[in-house]
Amino acid sequence: MIKVGIVGGTGYTGVELLRILAQHPKVKLKEITSRQEAGMAVDELFPSLRKQVTLKFSDPSKANLSKCDLVFFATPNGVAMQQARSLFDAGVLIIDLSADFRIKNIAEWEKWYGMPHACPELVAEAVYGLPELNRKHIKNARLIANPGCYPTAVQLGFLPLIEEGVVDTNQLIADTKSGVSGAGRKAEINTLFSEAADNFKSYAVPGHRHLPEIKQGLSIAAKKEVGLTFVPHLTPMIRGIHATLYAKLTKKVDLQTLYANRYASEPFVDVLPAGKHPETRSVRGSNYCRIAVHRPQDGKIAVILSVTDNLVKGAAGQAVQNMNIMFGFRETLGIEHIPLLP
Amino acid sequence: MIKVGIVGGTGYTGVELLRILAQHPKVKLKEITSRQEAGMAVDELFPSLRKQVTLKFSDPSKANLSKCDLVFFATPNGVAMQQARSLFDAGVLIIDLSADFRIKNIAEWEKWYGMPHACPELVAEAVYGLPELNRKHIKNARLIANPGCYPTAVQLGFLPLIEEGVVDTNQLIADTKSGVSGAGRKAEINTLFSEAADNFKSYAVPGHRHLPEIKQGLSIAAKKEVGLTFVPHLTPMIRGIHATLYAKLTKKVDLQTLYANRYASEPFVDVLPAGKHPETRSVRGSNYCRIAVHRPQDGKIAVILSVTDNLVKGAAGQAVQNMNIMFGFRETLGIEHIPLLP
Amino acid sequence: MIKVGIVGGTGYTGVELLRILAQHPKVKLKEITSRQEAGMAVDELFPSLRKQVTLKFSDPSKANLSKCDLVFFATPNGVAMQQARSLFDAGVLIIDLSADFRIKNIAEWEKWYGMPHACPELVAEAVYGLPELNRKHIKNARLIANPGCYPTAVQLGFLPLIEEGVVDTNQLIADTKSGVSGAGRKAEINTLFSEAADNFKSYAVPGHRHLPEIKQGLSIAAKKEVGLTFVPHLTPMIRGIHATLYAKLTKKVDLQTLYANRYASEPFVDVLPAGKHPETRSVRGSNYCRIAVHRPQDGKIAVILSVTDNLVKGAAGQAVQNMNIMFGFRETLGIEHIPLLP
Amino acid sequence: MIKVGIVGGTGYTGVELLRILAQHPKVKLKEITSRQEAGMAVDELFPSLRKQVTLKFSDPSKANLSKCDLVFFATPNGVAMQQARSLFDAGVLIIDLSADFRIKNIAEWEKWYGMPHACPELVAEAVYGLPELNRKHIKNARLIANPGCYPTAVQLGFLPLIEEGVVDTNQLIADTKSGVSGAGRKAEINTLFSEAADNFKSYAVPGHRHLPEIKQGLSIAAKKEVGLTFVPHLTPMIRGIHATLYAKLTKKVDLQTLYANRYASEPFVDVLPAGKHPETRSVRGSNYCRIAVHRPQDGKIAVILSVTDNLVKGAAGQAVQNMNIMFGFRETLGIEHIPLLP
């Protein structure tokens, strides 16, 4: 049993971490902090946890996080970079679900996130927590930058094509659709039910913060700077990401075999049989990423379809997968939930 | 490990049974039958089960169900009563999720279900599978009539009032709301997305099949025939039942204490603190029933709010709870899923 | 053509007023005020109005409302009572869509709305704007208290029973369900898509502000104080109210005939044929209230089903209906929209 | 007043035609046929039309359609081509909302629609009813092939780029998302609420019937065969299409000016200001197509966003727009509905 703390447990990634960790056989939840809700029982805020979680939110200033073996940051961007240093120095392992340590180029990070970085030296230390790409480094990491939700679905979708060198990496297109929980548990007009239901729209077409994160990952795989057009959309569902990816093929390749081989030993990446279309509910509440590959009319454009649950494989589930790797647990331990369908 | 079969696995209760049983530590799934889909892999119909269930649907005529220790019927009404006899005689335990064995009065059953009963002698044998009421009988039962979704939420809501004799049982009112999955996985215009979304309506106000089932249960508890007005509604969500119950108080009683005591040792009934309102998503994907009790303006009308997931506590989860009781497993084994929120 | 102003045009009743008034053949929209959005084009906030509304929001302090023939208040509770006096004295007719002038008993109003009333003398002057009840008084009114959304659906449903004296008015029950737009266009966590979608719950069971308004109306009709249990629920749809009403019959009566006669000449109340169930989408975007009457199992409980669009007949549409009556226009002018289905 | 008939009025385009035509000032609805519902009052099937439409469905074999000035076909593919000839010869004008007359290449049509064409000679006669492209020909047409829903949104989005010759027409990409009503009012499991809600998926990626229709239109505009990758998706909303279009720019061009000029005099095409993102609800229930143009990171990829209501501009509204043009009515007559928001 390891001792685990969560900083910032009142958002959707926080409650999802709680759902998963409360039944993880190797985890003892010690602390969950919230400035605003300090003293409140966790299950008062989230009645779904009644009879399962008996913790109270603790005041961040009083929480004894340094006694934990591992601390998850489920905080807004800009918080973890303030608090990670002292925990890191105390030998506590850290998994940050926010964006603070994801971008290696500090200037780029500061441009997209609109603030100076408080802890650039730890960025170099951080390991990008996409197990399908970085498993070896994760094993020995002391600080994990847990990937964003779009970046997970998009990178898992593009990686085989790029690693194999069979597409024109100058003109990749990622048309992505997210459920509304991706916007977080924040009081905002845009994501009210009456605004977001029975409605579909794109947003941030001029530039979204996940663009540099995805480009960084794909450029490493391509061993050169890639060109990516990234267009996110909001779709009226709670959970789920659907990435529709377009790439121009430059070589002859059997897409189905390429993907099946690349992910053959991955427990959480599921390549569908030829001709299928993955749907987001087929991963709802689970840590799977399901992928299908198409080449319409046998043309030059490969169309890759990749779905995840943004709160699980796109956040809390992947964080626990990283934890399992770091502590030498079975990688699937505690995250084998079968998707909820219907 | 017990050997388990499912008859009729292509509906929503079927796929929910599969979700639960596939990870139940004491269950070996042996057979799942479907006339229409015989030969198809289960995970082709339900991609949510990929990497978790490797069975194929088998032809009912060829399935070797009599070698199972337990068979679940997840079939439309009218099927189990045809097939239960031979399994029963072969010593196979049976849990029927349909309505075939729920109503003791055969004439009443035939009136509401519009067909002659094919196996009235087994009706007497059947135990009504509401553990909070019948745990002792379930333990030794050979045939369980698993309660309907509305009847579970309504009876758990009314029982304490009726057992305690503090309300006028001649004028009970149950205003109930169900998610659309309650209508099953059948091709029908009424339950199309474009018909049921962004819409709310009542249905079957003149008379719904769950009325006699609820009245039977409440009348046993009241030790006299109760009067019940039962009005079901369809609400645009996938899973969930919300029962709003009204009863006229005839005696002084502390409702909160009454309910807290009645369900103090029940693992799956959760009485909320005073003043709270349960929401259906607080039980989504779980076997809980959450209940809150109110007495608006300190008047004579008790208002009881009871929520369940119609596919879990209202169907497959309760069936597995009954299985656990019958086989002497820990009652919560394999059905401890934490609700999915958001 | 009359000159019309709107105070507070950024909420859902505001945009709905704009949708209706922009095409009303007798109305010239002169002013729409908003403190926060002053100077912004209305169609920038609401792109649905592009090519149809060219007004800008004006600063309330600079708007020349006293030159209007009629001013609508589409403001939060507590605003109209501050501003109505001067307009009233200037001879401007007023329709207040908020609750400020609905309750005749000032102490009662102050108890439920939690503030001292700023203008009690105008409360006496105000006419409650339910045309089916008060048409004659509306005609000559100078200040209309436009009814709340729940009160419209519930009163239209109960009135025939109460006026006819055929039910026990001591134990009326109104189980009501509202779409989320009823909560308004305010940044709040409770009404986020990820909180309200795929979910159903009751709220305010101990006491909701519409309770005294409904009781006031029904008590006038009953010529004595009525007893009412009122339980509102939130259902995951944008627009629509469904009221399920229960009353104990004390006399023999043909419900269908009673309702058909009562509303025979009402343009916006539609009594469905016997045995039908109204659905909220059958009135979506329209000013209709559709009602069905049932007497399950020929028992003593009358079950009345009443549906409206909370933003139209429950707010903006009814306000325009009142306007039409006040100015002697055809009562249906400009509010004859056919419901949007699907 | 013209006399109008509708063949096949029980689907979603049928009820939408009824909603629009029932209030069109120049139209007298004479006949609406349905084999299955003959004799039933239209407002029994669609209670939204109560108090507005008093017609009954008539038997197709007995309907006197040849006395109409205009007949709309709102039938499944394959019906209009059987019945159009005799009406055409009788001098009745025809607007076919199905796909029967949209594709000029008969072999191509037969390949995609899987049946022999029953009336190829009328295909040549038919005018493709996209007013923004074909207004002059529509004016004198006797038979209109009303465009499909995707083709309307995609063509209006791509046309300015292609007509201006500023993109590489060999690699156009259309990533499109449709509300579920696009699948029609048919009893099918795929489009049940419990299947389609809270879910997102692509479909028909290998090839969708609207592909040849779109390619035909764009190729005419390009004056050469275009290359198009077309990927449709199903999104959990009732109405609405969102097309996200990608094209590689080959020349310098001010996209905003290009689009503003192209559609300056179009009553139903609305080019949004620079930087905006159209949402489907901004056209809900209306005949508008709203378009925004982007060039992310000032790169070579133009991203065009185009939204319509699939049942209005994508079907019934456009059909009435064509009718208005054919009969010399004001083009916007009877289709000026303001979108329903929220």
**C-alpha distances in Å from residue C70, one per residue of C94, C95, C319, D7:** 6, 8, 11, 46
Q: Where are the beta strands (DSSP E) in chain C?
A: 2-7, 27-33, 70-73, 93-96, 127-128, 143-145, 172-178, 201-202, 228-234, 241-248, 269-271, 289-294, 301-308
C318: three-class secondary structure by DSSP: helix
Asked if C202 and B297 come within 8 Å (Cβ–Cβ), the reply is no
Residue B43: per-residue pLDDT: 97
**Which residues in A281-338 belong to E strands, given as ranges?**
289-294, 301-308
pLDDT of residue A300: 97
C249-258: long-range pairs with CB below 8 Å, 24+: C249/C166, C249/C167, C249/C295, C249/C300, C249/C301, C249/C302, C250/C166, C250/C167, C250/C168, C251/C165, C251/C166, C253/C164, C253/C166, C255/C293, C255/C294, C255/C295, C255/C302, C256/C293, C258/C160, C258/C161, C258/C164, C258/C166, C258/C293
- Inter-chain CB proximity B338 and A19 less than 8 Å: yes
Q: Does C229 touch chain B (CB under 8 A)?
A: yes
Say how far residue A252 (Cα) sits from the centre of its chain.
32
pLDDT average, residue stretch A280-303: 98
Phi and psi at residue A263, to the nearest 5°:
-110, 15
Above pLDDT 70, what percent of chain C? 100
> What are the domain boundaries of chain B?
2-125, 150-310
Which residues on D lie below 8 Å from C276 (Cβ)? 47
Residues C187-239 have pLDDT tens digits of 999 999 999 999 999 999 999 999 999 999 999 999 999 999 999 999 999 99
Torsion sign (Cα): C57, C58, C61, C66: negative
Contact (CB, 8 A) for C159 and C152: no
CA-nearest of D137, D213, D175 to D304 is D175
CB-based contact A111:A129 (threshold 8 Å): no
Nearest alpha carbon to residue B142 among B326, B15, B317: B326
Chain A: closest CA distance from residue D281 (Å):
5
Strands B269-271 and C241-248: unpaired
- Residue A50 is classified by DSSP as T
Q: Provide the pLDDT for residue A202.
A: 98
Is D191 part of the contact surface with chain B (CB cutoff 8 Å)? yes
Distances (CA, A) of A60 to A4, A32, A130, D329: 15, 8, 28, 69
> Looking at C68, C119, C149, C289, which residue is catalytic?
C149
| Rounded distance between C-alpha atoms, residue A11 and residue A19, angstroms | 12
Strand blocks (E) in D48-99: 70-73, 93-96
Closest residue by Cα to residue A165 from A250, A262, A229: A250
What distance in Å separates the CA atoms of residue D295 and residue D224, rounded to the nearest whole number? 25
Smallest CA-to-CA distance from B296 within C212, C113, C230, C233 is with C230
Which amino acid is located at C326 in the chain?
M
Judge whether C305 and C294 are in contact, CB under 8 Å.
yes
Give the model confidence (pLDDT) of C27-56 as tens digits: 999 999 999 999 999 999 999 999 999 999
Specify the pLDDT at position B194: 98
| Joined tokens for residue D230 | 């077309």
Spatial distance between the Cα atoms of B28 and C265, rounded to a whole number of angstroms = 67
**Which residue stretches of chain B have pLDDT < 50?**
none
A192-201 per-position pLDDT tens digit: 999 999 999 9
Q: What pLDDT shows up at residue A167?
A: 98
- Residues C78 and C7: their CA atoms lie apart, in Å, by 13
* Radius of gyration of the CA atoms of chain B, in A: 19
Residue at token pair 């289960």: B42
Judge: C275–B206 Cβ closer than 8 Å, yes or no: yes
Neighbouring C-alpha atoms within 13 Å toward the C-beta of C68: 24
Neighbouring CB atoms inside 10 A of B121's CB total 9
Mean pLDDT of chain C: 97
CATH for the stretch C2-125: 3.40.50.720
- The label of the residue with tokens 């916006």 reads C268
Tokens 């019945």 sit on residue: D83
Is there a contact between D72 and D98 (Cβ–Cβ < 8 Å)?
no
Q: Are D192 and B189 a contacting pair at CB < 8 A?
A: no
| Residue positions counted in chain D | 342
Helix or strand (DSSP H, E) at A113:
helix A106-113
C-alpha span between C235 and C182 (Å, rounded): 10
Tokens of C161: 């029973």
| Residue in this structure with the two tokens 């239109």, named with its chain if needed | D217
Q: Do B231 and C277 touch (CB under 8 A)?
A: no
Q: Which residue has tokens 């949510």? A: B48
Query: b vs e for D125-163, b when ≥16 Cβ sit within 10 Å of the residue's Cβ?
Result: ebbbbbbbbbeeebeebebbbbbbbbbbbbbbbbbbbbe
User: Which residues neighbour C258 within 8 Å (Cβ) at sequence distance 6 or greater?
Assistant: C160, C161, C164, C166, C293
User: Which one of C230, C246, C280 has the shortest CB-CB distance to B229?
Assistant: C246
Of the partner residues D51, D239, D282, the one whose CB lies closest to the CB of residue C48: D282
Task: Determine the pLDDT at residue B63.
Answer: 87
Put simply, the chain D residues between 98 and 117 with a CB less than 8 A from any chain A CB are none
CB of A258 within 8 A of CB of A291?
Answer: no
Which strands sit side by side in the sheet containing B27-33, from one edge to the other?
B27-33, B2-7, B70-73, B93-96, B143-145, B127-128
What is the pLDDT at residue C63?
Answer: 87
Mean pLDDT, 10 residues at a time, chain D of 342 residues: 96 97 97 94 97 94 93 97 96 98 98 97 97 98 98 98 98 98 97 98 98 98 98 98 98 98 98 98 98 97 98 98 98 98 97
Task: Please name the amino acid found at residue C173.
Answer: I
Residue A101 has pLDDT above 90, yes or no: yes
What is the 8-class DSSP label of residue A208? -
Task: Give CA–CA dist A303/B105, Å, rounded.
Answer: 59
pTM above 0.95, yes or no: yes
Nearest to D200 among A195, A202, A240 (CB): A240
Q: Which residue has the tokens 């001029």?
A: A206
Phi, psi of D42 (to 5 degrees): -55, -40
Q: What residues of A are annotated to the active site? A: 149
Among A243, A242, A241, A240, which residue's Cα sits nearest to residue A218?
A243
Quick one: C150-310 is in which CATH superfamily? Dihydrodipicolinate Reductase; domain 2 (3.30.360.10)
Cα A88 from Cα A81, distance rounded (Å)? 11
Q: For residues B167 and B201, what is the distance between their CA atoms, to the nearest angstrom?
A: 29
**Closest residue on chain B to C279 (Cα):** B201
Residue of D68, D119, D149, D289 marked catalytic = D149
Between CA B135 and CA B339 the distance in angstroms is 24
In angstroms, rounded to a whole number, what is the distance separating the alpha carbons of residues C126 and C105?
Answer: 12
Q: Which CATH number fits domain D150-309: 3.20.20.70, 3.40.50.150, 3.30.360.10, 3.40.1160.10?
A: 3.30.360.10
| Rounded Cα distance, C252 and A164, in Å | 82
Which two structure tokens, joined as six digits, stand for A192?
């009210």
Q: Give every CB contact of residue C43 below 8 A, 6+ residues apart in sequence.
A: C49, C50, C51, C52, C53, C54
Tell which residue, B211, B213, B184, B7, has the closest CA to residue B102.
B213
Question: What is the C-alpha to C-alpha distance for residues D101 and B238, in angstroms, rounded to an integer?
Answer: 39
Residue D196 backbone dihedrals phi, psi, to 5 degrees: -95, -20
The whole-number average pLDDT for the span A38-61 is 95
Taking an 8 Å cut-off on Cβ atoms, the answer to whether D51 and C288 are in contact is yes
Task: Report the pLDDT value the prediction gives residue A63, as an integer from 0 to 100.
Answer: 87
Cβ distance D231 to A296 less than 8 Å, yes or no, reads yes
Question: Does residue A332 contact residue A270 with C-beta atoms inside 8 Å?
Answer: no
Provide the terminal-to-terminal Cα distance of chain D, rounded to the nearest Å: 34
CA–CA min distance D140, chain B (Å): 36
Phi, psi of A243 (to 5 degrees): -105, 125
